[in-house]
Copies of this chain bind each other. A is one copy, B any other.
Amino acid sequence: MIIDRLIEAIGALGNPTVAGLDTRIEHLPESFQKRWDIGTAAGAAQAISAFNRSLIDALIDIVPCIKIQAACYELYAEAGLSALRDTAGYARSRGMLVIADVKRGDIGSTSAAYSAAWIGRCGGQPVFDADFVTVNPYLGADGIAPFLEDCRRYDKGIFILVKTSNPSSSELQDLRLADGRAVYEAVADRVAVWGEGLTGSHGYSAAGAVVGATHPEQGAALRRRMPGIFFLLPGYGAQGATGADIVRMFDRERGGAIVNASRSLLTAWRKRGTDDFASAARDEAISMREDIMGALGRVRYH
């Protein structure tokens, strides 16, 4: 199962991190931008695609997985989706796993179309063919069910938003219910149910949860609350979370989480004062691995 492949890839590289390719044109060094006509959507998308390929090459033996932020590609319409598909295909051809961060969610029939596009098939053919996709839970079970069905059918996975990393996540997600739970805890309890029946050989479901690394206390409580659910942890780096913040969102025996970093990797060249963005991202990814593994200590990956 795909969740087992993810866990094993993390174990093989000893690195529970995912490189977030939320790539914007301003993340590219000017010297690199200049090679394309970035004034056009096609040129900008091609530049981003080439940048992503170089990053993937630089991270291939450090990071097991990439996460592609769809918004950054939608911005360039058709050319952007072409860059997204190129990036996803290239990463998969090099053996990396691919999370499409699309946060889709709709009524059942529409969710079925989103699921087909991102992890399923259309006319028998894969479309974007990600390994995992992120999903918004606001519409409830019938917006999630088509994704779960495609997880079963095509051996794919999803990560459902539970507690997001952004400052105003508290506004709706932390509201207190009459039964004492917070809204995000109620969502967590639904995710645990939705994930049943998709559990792989390492004890985690192919239906995982997005939990912001920026909320260490809530993340630790969620780790205890949903032991069979794998976590995608955004918010490390530019959003402020450190290795120490995320340690309790991991299971000491079984891992159970993967940490995303986007801007800190994409713009590492700026911090390190070089235009060699690929080497800078590689160095930053190694630092990140050391920070996280240092904090985690003896967490075991199978």
Contact = CB atoms under 8 A, between A and B. Distances in A.
Nearest to A181: B175
A141 B72 CA distance: 20
Interface in A174-200: 175-180, 183, 186-187, 190
A8 interface: no
B138 A172 contact: yes
A74 interface: yes
The quantity of this chain's copies bound in the complex is 2
A138 B138 contact: yes
A296 to B, nearest CB: 25
Given A71-B110, A104-B103, A176-B178, A171 B183 contact: no
B138 A164 contact: yes
A230 to B, nearest CB: 20
Given A122-B75, A136-B103, A168 B183 contact: no
B164 A107 contact: yes
Given A77-B117, A127-B75, A173 B136 contact: no
